[in-house]
Amino acid sequence: MATESPITSTPRKVATTGSLHALGVLCGLAAGVWLGAAEAPTKLVDAGLSPFAISLYMVAGVFAARWTFPTLLKGTTYVFADLFARKHLIVWAVLAGALWAVANTLTVFAIRDVGLATAFPLWNTNSLIGLLWARLLFRELKGAGPKNLLKVILGTVLIVIAAIMLGFSTIHGGSTTSPHAWRGLIAAAGASLMWGTMYVPYRKAYLSGMNPLSFVTAFTVGELGMMFLLTWTLDGGAHSSAFQLTRNQHLLFWLFLGGFIWVVGDLFQQFATKYLGIGRGIPLSNTNQLWGLAWGALVFGELATADHTHRALVLGGSILMILGALAISTAVASTREHLSRNEALERECERYGLEYREVLLAQSGDEFGTREQRRRWWDVLIVASATGLFIWLASKAFVPPLQMNLHWVAALCVVLLAALLGGGCALWRQTRFS
């Protein structure tokens, strides 16, 4: 039986379709900026660290940040009330976290074998996997007009062509060719498959009205558990380099920082998925390819010795991928598409006994006054503990022995802050992070 809606006061005016689309686009772009920067610390793999060690400690940073942000923005009382109102989604969130952990580990192998600037676009074909699942499972694009269908199909084709160009540049890149390039390509393709499938639980959660901040709290349990399991079984058990890395505490901060940056980007991506859907939100957040290329080429000089053919293929593939993502993201959902989405939402409500009106309002970002957000003493403890951990690690850190252009580091950090302020303020004004 459906539960009674907790909405007891007159809700605010529900945001218009156009304003929610614009909010989703802004979140997707902000996600691209932050997700693009998150992989830069994995360049530490060049210092001889195990990919499993890199990924495990990044996920540890993710775990700390994923609990900190929801606690800071909403409070644990709100988060757990949201989770237990939709208990069936907890297992989906844990599954999504496990898929993320596998994908993230594969990206570290891909970066090691083909480089950051080229690996990024290859695993960003996850948007194609996500689009396929969105169409098959949630009937996204049902009711879309010919113009929107053309944009989505054209964008998909451009992304595929871009991935082929970038993959070809890796194999035939002259002096930059890796002896293990094919292995890196396979790892990137596996990451694409894992991440593309991971978006299914995302969409299922938001069709049920769950807040992205609540979803990621359960999500992090799956990713940390799976990452520990992978490290223990595939990287030497108790003798894994991951468990020896504590002796090199000067490196831990950078890996935790990578996880922290990823969480900010993923939260923006979660909101983009909620307000745009998988088919539109994920390709837009995949503009992180551009920012990953910027970090790889400008900061770490990955293309410094590349020949003209290599650079032309990388540049051309990057432009095509961006155009493809933009074509998909500008396909604003029609009224018929929204009706189809509401039908999917209604099916979820009937299946799990949810209140349709409450879920519909949550889908539009209207959760004002529906749950208690009062902070508890343990909320302060969670935030303080995570902050203290990062400060302690930072006090022991120093710049790793890698050649980096610090001027470009500063410039790209300014872009990160601008994206955070722009996306964060928009979410606060329009939805109060709902």
Query: For 38-47, 66-75, 197-206, which range has the lowest pLDDT when averaged over its residues?
Result: 38-47
Full-model pTM: 0.82
Which pLDDT band, with edges at 50, 70 and 90, does 424 fall under?
A: very high
268 SS3 class: helix
Instruction: Name the nearest CA neighbour of 306 among 140, 115, 143.
Output: 115
Which pLDDT band, with edges at 50, 70 and 90, does 10 fall under?
A: very low
Instruction: Name the nearest CA neighbour of 300 among 6, 41, 71.
Output: 41
pLDDT at 2: 40
Mean pLDDT in the chain? 80
The yes-or-no verdict on residue 188 having pLDDT over 80 is yes
**For residue 40, what are its two tokens?**
């830069």
pLDDT at 371: 56
Cβ atoms within 10 Å, residue 135: 15
Which pLDDT band, with edges at 50, 70 and 90, does 370 fall under?
A: low
Block residue for tokens 């922290």? 260
The yes-or-no verdict on residue 8 having pLDDT over 50 is no
State percent of the chain over pLDDT 70.
Answer: 85
> Which residues neighbour 243 within 8 Å (Cβ) at sequence distance 6 or greater?
none
Report the alpha-carbon distance of residue 207 to residue 363 in Å, rounded.
7
Which amino acid is present at 285? S
The yes-or-no verdict on residue 12 having pLDDT over 50 is no
pLDDT at 426: 92
pLDDT at 425: 93
Q: What is the mean pLDDT of residues 70-86?
A: 85
pLDDT at 335: 79
Which tens digits make up the pLDDT trace of 214-247?
888 888 888 888 988 888 888 877 777 777 666 6
Most confident option among 7-21, 88-102, 270-284: 88-102
Report the alpha-carbon distance of residue 62 to residue 424 in Å, rounded.
19
CB 162 within 8 A of CB 314: no
Which pLDDT band, with edges at 50, 70 and 90, does 174 fall under?
A: very low
The backbone torsions φ and ψ at residue 369, rounded to the nearest 5 degrees and listed phi first, read 75, 10
Name the residue with higher pLDDT: 140 or 229: 229
Which pLDDT band, with edges at 50, 70 and 90, does 18 fall under?
A: low
The yes-or-no verdict on residue 367 having pLDDT over 70 is no
Which tens digits make up the pLDDT trace of 318-352?
888 788 877 877 877 777 887 887 888 888 888 88
